[in-house]
Structure 1
Amino acid sequence: MPRPPAPAAHVVVLGGGLAGTLAAAALAPHAGGVTVVERDRLPDAPEPRRGLPQARHAHLFWSGGARAVEALLPGTHELWERHGARHIPIPQGMISYSPAGWFRRWHDERSHHYAIAARRDLTDWVVRTRLTQAFGHVEFRTDRTPVALLGDSRRVRGLEVRDAGGRPETLEAALVVDATGRAAVGGRLLAVLGAPPVPVTRVDAGVAYASRLYRAPEGARAGWPVVNIQADPTTGEPAGLATVVPTETGDWLVSLSGTRGRHPTGDVAAFEEFARALRHPLAADLVRRATPVGAVALTRSTPNIRRHYDRAATPAGFLAVGDAATACNPVYAHGMSSAARSALALRRVADELGVTDERFARRAQKAVAREAAAAWTLATGQDLFFPGVEAPAPPGFAARAAGRYVTALMNAAIGDHHVVQRFTDVMTLEKPATRLATPRMVLAALRGPRLPKLDGPALTPDEQAVLDSVRRTDPHPK
C-alpha cells in the first residue's frame, strides 16, 4: 500500500508531456501537492500544441506500456477507446516485412499482446484528463519557463520559474523531476548549482523521418492493420522504412524514415516515390489509393541519447525521466511505452520509501534506468549497424554476435509461432530481452523457420480488395 503523503511533501515536474504527466501520476499518491510546469499552453481537447512537433508522426503504444498507464491511471484504456483509439491485436493486426521476409499474422486466442493506435494529441490528452480526474491536488502551471533550481550541489529544494510576462515565481519542493524531453533542461540547471556533469552516451544513425496524414479509401477506414516495412541493417547500405498506422478518425498516418544517405524530404511529390523505393512497395501502393490531408512533416531529431543520471553524483531531490534521461530513435516506437514503464517503476519506489526519503531520488533514478534499458538496447542494437553511424566505438565482438543471433531469430520468426510470440513479448515491452535467450530460442535460431516463406503480405480478402481498387489518377492533388 502507498505510504500516506507527508504533509509538506510537494513535487514539481518540469514538462507537461506524456512522460511528465505519467511521472505526476506515479508520485501524486505520495505528495501533498504536485505542480506540473509546462512552457506551452496545454489544449483542453485532443489538439496540436507548439511544443510537441513529434505529434505529427506515427505513434504506437505497445501493450507493455499501455498496461503500465492503466496501472497508474485506471480507466485510461476505456477513455482512449471511447474517443476512437484503435486496440490492435499483435501480431494478427500487423502486416510486417522483416529483413527475413513477411511475418505471418498468427491468430492465437491466448495472445495478450496489442498496441493502442491513435494520433499523439489524443493519446496525451486522454492521459492528462485521467490524471486531473484522479488527483485533485495535481496542478498544471502553463506558460512557465524554468529559470533555476533552488538548493545546492547536495540537495535540490525547488524551482524558480518565470511566466509569459517575465514575472518570477518560486516553487519549493521535496522533489523536482525533469521531464522536458530531448531538451533535457535539468542538466543545465544542475550545472549552475555546481553539480558534476552527467555522463552521456550517444548513438546516431542519422535517421530522418517524414510523415503525412491520408484519408483512407472506402473499405479501409475501420479495422485496418498496422503496416510496417522494416529496414535491413545487414546490407551495409543506407536503409529506409515505412509505417502506416490507422488513427482514431479512420485515417492513416504514414511515416517514412531513412538513415544517413537516404533521407526522405518534405517534398510532397517525393513522398510516394520514397515509399516505392523501399524493400517492398506495399506502403506506396496504399498511399496511391488514399487521399493526402495536409503537408509533409519532417524531423531529424532522432539520435539515441542516454544521460546516465543513475551513475552521476546528482543532488538529492532531483531525478530525470522519459527522453530527458533516455531518448531513443523514435522510429522504433518505444518512447511512450518506455516512459510509462519507467513511471510505474517510479511508483514502486515511492511506495517503498516515500518521496521525502533522502534515498528516494537515487533509488528511483536507477529503477527508471533499468526500465529504459530495454528500449535503448532494441534501438541501438539496430542503429549501430547502419553505415555512417556516430557512436562511441564500432560494434564490438559481443554486439556483432548478438546481431547475428537476432538476425537468425528473425529468420526463424517468419515461420515459427513460438519465436514470434517471444519476439512480441520483447517488442511490446511486456518481457525483458532475456526472453530471446532461452534454450528453445537458441535451438530455433539454429533450426530456422518451420514453414516456408510467404510470397507476399498476408492480406485478408477485404484488404486485398483495397489494393485491387482503382488508383488515384492524380497522386499529388493540391
Structure 2
Amino acid sequence: MSGRPSPAKVAVVLGGSHTGMLAAAALAGLADRVVVVERDELPGEPAPRKGLPQARHAHMLWSGGVRAMEDLLPGVTGTLTDAGARRAPVTTDMVVLSAHGWFRRWPESHHVILAGRDLLDATVRARVLADDRVEVLGGTEVLGLTGDAQAVTGVRVRERDGRERTIDAGMVVDATGRASGTPRWLTDLGLPAPDRREVDSGLAYASRLYLAPEQARDGFPVISVQPDTQAAGPGRAGFLLPIEDGRWIVTLNGTRGGEPSPADDDFVRFAREELRHPLIGDLISRAEPLSGVSFTRTTVNRRYFYERMPAWPENFTVLGDALAAYNPVYGHGLAVGAQSALVLRDLTRRYGWESAGLARRVQKAVARPVGAAWELATGQDVFYPGATENGPTARDRAVAAYVSRLMYTATGNGRIARRVTDVTSLERRAEVLLAPGVLLAAAVGPLKPTLAEPPLTAEELKKAELR
C-alpha cells in the first residue's frame, strides 16, 4: 500500500504499558497502522520508568492471562522463560498459609508466570514493536478525545516539544491506567458520567528485592502468608516470589492500623512479628537486600461500569486499570488486561472494523473477565473496616461464608483445591464452584487433617538455610 493509511484504518492506543501493548498487538493485524501514545519515554531494555511506580512491587501473571497473551503473541511465554522468568505450577510450587491453615501442595492444576515487571513489559513491548504497523509516540500527553456523543474520531495530544495536535483515528483504546481521563472525556462529549464503585481496604504495600541464598536461586517455591479477613482488626499479609536472576521480590502489606513501615530496617521485623507466621521473615533474614523498600497506598479497588451506560460512542473502548483497578494483592490486573485485549481482537475480527455497535459490544464483553476479578478482590476487601460506606451486604456475607468453607475444604481436598484455582487463575468462571459435587464436598469439609507446619521439603529447608 502506498501513502499513509486512511484515518478510518488507524487505531490509537492510549498508554504503552502491559494492557496498552497487548491492545496494540490485538489491533495490529486489523488496522493499517496502530499508534501508541505514551506519556513516558519507553526504555528499550528492561528498566524502570517514571509512570509505572507499581513496577517496584511483586507481580504475577495467572495462567488465564498467560493463555490470552500467548494467543496474541505466540511464543512470548517461551521468550520470557528464556530470559529468566519462572513458570510456577499451582499449587505444586506454592507454600501458602490460608485463613484456615496451610494448603497442601497438590499436583499442578494451573500455573503463574513470575518475573520482574520491567522484564515482563520489555519482553511484551519488544514483540509488539517488532511489527512495523505499530509505532510509539513517547513523551506525549493525551489531552482529550475528538468527536461527539455518537462517535469518537481521534485524540488531542501534546507532544514533547509542547506542540498540540489531533490524531484522527477509526478506533481509540484507553489503556492509561488508574489515572484515566475517560470519565471527564465522556462528559466533555455530552455523555453522562459513568457509574463507579470503590472498595478501599486501606491497604498499604511495602516491597523489597533480595538476592536469594545461592543454593535457593533455582527451584524455590512461592511463599504466601495470607490474612484472616474474618478476624477482628487489620489484615496483614506477605508473599515472596522467586523471579529472574536468582532474586526474590517480597511484598508485605497491611490494612488500616496494620500497615508495614516504609523504613528499610523494619522490613524483616514486620515479616517475622506481624504476619501470622514468621516464615517469610526467616527467609529474607538470610538473603541479601538489593534495594530499599518501595511503599505505596495506591491499592483501592475501583471499577467504572461503562457497559451500563445508556449510550456509548462508536470507535472507543476502555481496557485495563482505566476500566477496573484491583487491590494488587490478588494479582489479577495483568491477566484481565491480556484477556480484555484478546476480546478486543476477537470481536473486531468477528464483526468487522467499522461495524455499527462494535465498541459497545467490546465494552460489554470485557465486563466478563473484569467482573470475575472484581468479585474475587472485593469479596474479601469489603470486610475490612471503612472499605465501603455501608459495609458488607447480606449477599457479601453469604458469598464469603461459602467461599470460606470452600477454602477450608481445599486445605485437605485436592479436587476442591483445583476447582478453586480454576477460578483464581481466571481460566473458568465462578459458577464451577456451585456444581453439585463441589457443594457436597464443601458440606463434608476437608478429607485430610490440617497441616501444622509449612509444607516445605527437606531439600527446600536446606536451600533456605532453615535446617
- Under TM normalisation by the shorter chain, which class is it? over 0.9
8 Å Cα contact 1:7-1:32 kept in structure 2: no
Where structure 1 has 5 or more consecutive residues not aligned to the other structure, the ranges are 471-478
Determine which of 334, 343, 346 is the counterpart of 1:345.
343
1:35 is aligned to 35
> One-letter code of the match for 1:375?
A
Q: Distance in 2 between matches of 1:388 and 1:285?
A: 32
Residue by residue over 1:352-375, the C-alpha shift from the partner in whole angstroms, topping out at 9 and shown as x without a partner, is: 112322211100001111111111
How much does 1:238 deviate?
A: 0.4
How much does 1:195 deviate?
A: 2.1
2:234 is aligned to 238
Where does 1:384-399 land on structure 2 (aligned, <5 Å)? Answer: 384-391=382-389, 393-399=390-396
Partner of 1:415, secondary structure, is coil
8 Å Cα contact 1:219-1:462 kept in structure 2: no
1:228 is aligned to 224
How much does 1:6 deviate?
A: 8.7
2:327 is aligned to 329
2:438 is aligned to 441
Identity %, equivalent residues: 48
Q: Does 412-421 or 306-315 show the bigger shift?
A: 306-315
TM-score for the superposition, normalised by structure 1: 0.94
Partner of 2:246, secondary structure, is coil
Residue by residue over 1:197-228, the C-alpha shift from the partner in whole angstroms, topping out at 9 and shown as x without a partner, is: 11111111111100000110121101111111
How much does 1:12 deviate?
A: 0.5
Partner of 1:289, secondary structure, is coil
Q: Distance in 2 between matches of 1:7 and 1:467?
A: 58
Q: Distance in 2 between matches of 1:387 and 1:462?
A: 41
Q: Does 349-358 or 88-97 show the bigger shift?
A: 349-358
2:178 is aligned to 182
RMSD: 1.4
1:68 is aligned to 68
Determine which of 100, 112, 121 is the counterpart of 1:115.
112
1:14 is aligned to 14
Where structure 2 has 5 or more consecutive residues not aligned to the other structure, the ranges are none
Residue by residue over 1:38-78, the C-alpha shift from the partner in whole angstroms, topping out at 9 and shown as x without a partner, is: 00000001111111101100000111100100001101011
Residue by residue over 1:372-423, the C-alpha shift from the partner in whole angstroms, topping out at 9 and shown as x without a partner, is: 11110000000011122124x3222221111110111111100001011111
Q: Distance in 2 between matches of 1:410 and 1:148?
A: 45
> One-letter code of the match for 1:25?
A
Q: Distance in 2 between matches of 1:145 and 1:388?
A: 35
1:370 aligns with 2:368: yes
> One-letter code of the match for 1:128?
R
Determine which of 246, 249, 253 is the counterpart of 1:250.
246
2:289 is aligned to 292
Partner of 1:219, secondary structure, is helix
How much does 1:292 deviate?
A: 0.8
2:212 is aligned to 216
1:204 is aligned to 200
8 Å Cα contact 1:212-1:297 kept in structure 2: yes
* Residues 166 and 7 of structure 1: CA distance in aligned 2, closer, same or farther (over 3 Å): closer
1:78 aligns with 2:81: no
1:419 aligns with 2:416: yes
Partner of 2:207, secondary structure, is strand
How much does 1:7 deviate?
A: 8.5
Q: Does 407-416 or 18-27 show the bigger shift?
A: 18-27
Tell me the matched-pair count: 461
Partner of 2:192, secondary structure, is coil
Q: Distance in 2 between matches of 1:6 and 1:220?
A: 55
Q: Distance in 2 between matches of 1:72 and 1:246?
A: 26
Partner of 1:222, secondary structure, is coil
2:256 is aligned to 260
1:192 is aligned to 188
Q: Distance in 2 between matches of 1:353 and 1:467?
A: 54
1:476 is aligned to none
Determine which of 416, 426, 429 is the counterpart of 1:429.
426
2:87 is aligned to 87
> One-letter code of the match for 2:143?
V
Q: Distance in 2 between matches of 1:245 and 1:419?
A: 24
How much does 1:437 deviate?
A: 1.0
1:49 aligns with 2:45: no
Q: Distance in 1 between matches of 2:337 and 2:434?
A: 25
1:145 is aligned to 141
8 Å Cα contact 1:20-1:179 kept in structure 2: yes
Residue by residue over 1:329-356, the C-alpha shift from the partner in whole angstroms, topping out at 9 and shown as x without a partner, is: 1110000001111111111211111232
* Residues 382 and 171 of structure 1: CA distance in aligned 2, closer, same or farther (over 3 Å): same
1:129 is aligned to 126
8 Å Cα contact 2:204-2:295 kept in structure 1: yes
TM-score for the superposition, normalised by structure 2: 0.96
Partner of 2:71, secondary structure, is helix
Q: Distance in 2 between matches of 1:387 and 1:147?
A: 37
Partner of 2:87, secondary structure, is strand
Where does 1:94-113 land on structure 2 (aligned, <5 Å)? Answer: 94-108=94-108, 111=109, 113=110
Q: Does 24-33 or 75-84 show the bigger shift?
A: 24-33
Q: Distance in 1 between matches of 2:104 and 2:173?
A: 43
Q: Distance in 1 between matches of 2:403 and 2:144?
A: 45
Partner of 1:294, secondary structure, is coil
> One-letter code of the match for 1:68?
A
Residue by residue over 1:418-471, the C-alpha shift from the partner in whole angstroms, topping out at 9 and shown as x without a partner, is: 01111111111111111111111111111111001111111112211134459x
1:274 is aligned to 270
Partner of 2:155, secondary structure, is strand
How much does 1:186 deviate?
A: 2.1
Q: Distance in 2 between matches of 1:331 and 1:77?
A: 23
8 Å Cα contact 1:25-1:131 kept in structure 2: yes
Residue by residue over 1:116-165, the C-alpha shift from the partner in whole angstroms, topping out at 9 and shown as x without a partner, is: 000001111111111122x3211111100011211112211001111111
8 Å Cα contact 1:412-1:444 kept in structure 2: yes
